[in-house]
Structure 1
């Protein structure tokens, strides 16, 4: 699995205006719809919100990794957002988030593809240097390049 292949310029937001967790998820999901990865926006958003209701996907370090498995997803994909201002995500460390990676996988994927993506991202995101690079990246191409080796 190559993380960079899951990203599209349509689903990368370098200065997303913050709002509620749901508003951020909806904006990012719209990017996945624009990229052709999500075919039913509402089904996918509801899957992500249902997962969030179980427990927060704010992993700490100013990062959240919301995810959902849905019949409204055509192919596994990833959205990235750097928030213009930190937003509350009910994170494990009680700190707001500035970086959000959102994972979308088709419901019929019986394997653990989303878990593999989640683990790969998490391993990289624990490194402060990588998070700093994401915060400083000036273009979607730079974000794609940064995730190239995940």
Structure 2
């Protein structure tokens, strides 16, 4: 299993990119992915300063490779209000997958997770279901199923 339903956050009310990165760091600690909230936050900020992780159609995949991470993890956030993420298509972001990877796993795991998600997000049916489902269990199953399919 790639994602657990405890890592699904719906109805996120933050309306600023920096506030969302803070929230991701805080939730990462609650999910047992880090003990260093500030370190995780800074890793996300540093990554975003290199190049925006915003994708077409209102999605973003912020990701952090850092020694502040205890283990590999993925979190899903659905925002109540679209946020400017400096996406290539200039669309506002409503859905985020945050990836957290310890430096020791940075090579293969990190790239495979990004690739799996990016491939899954090419599927219009997957994106539509992501935005419509309200049950964290069903969302977890949908995401895990689609990420597993793209790995093979």
Give the alignment's TM-score, normalised by structure 2.
Answer: 0.90
**Deviation digits for residues 70-110 of structure 1, max 9, x if unmatched?**
11111100010111011110001000011100000012225
**RMSD of aligned residue pairs (Cα, Å):** 1.3
Measured at CA, do residues 147 and 110 of structure 1 come closer, stay the same or move farther in structure 2, by a change above 3 Å? closer
Distance 1:10 1:31 in 2: 10
Q: Please tell me whether the aligned partners of residues 12 and 79 of structure 1 are also in contact (alpha carbons under 8 angstroms).
A: yes
Deviates more, 1:106-115 or 1:96-105: 106-115
Distance 1:72 1:6 in 2: 20
Sort the Cα spacing of 1:110 and 1:99 in 2 relative to 1 into closer, same or farther, 3 A: closer
Give distance in 1, aligned partners of 2:5 and 2:30: 10
Give the alignment partner of residue 28 of structure 1, picking from 21, 24, 41: 24
Number of corresponding residues: 146
Q: Is the 8 A contact 2:3 2:144 kept in 1?
A: no
Q: What is the TM-score of this pair, normalised by structure 1?
A: 0.91
Could you say which structure has the higher strand fraction? Answer: 1
**Whose helix fraction is larger, Structure 1's or Structure 2's?**
2
Question: Are positions 1:123 and 2:131 aligned together?
Answer: no
User: What secondary structure sits across from 1:148 in the alignment?
Assistant: helix
Q: Which residue is equivalent to 2:104?
A: 108
Greater mean deviation of Cα atoms: 8-17 or 136-145: 8-17
Aligned to 2:49: 53
- What is aligned with 1:66? 62
Deviation at 1:124, TM superposition (A): 0.5
Q: Which whole-Å CA distance do the structure 1 matches of 2:58 and 2:65 have between them? A: 24
- In structure 2, C-alpha distance between the alignment counterparts of 1:10 and 1:28, rounded to whole Å: 13
Name structure 1 gaps, 5 residues minimum: none
Which residue in 2 is equivalent to 1:78?
74
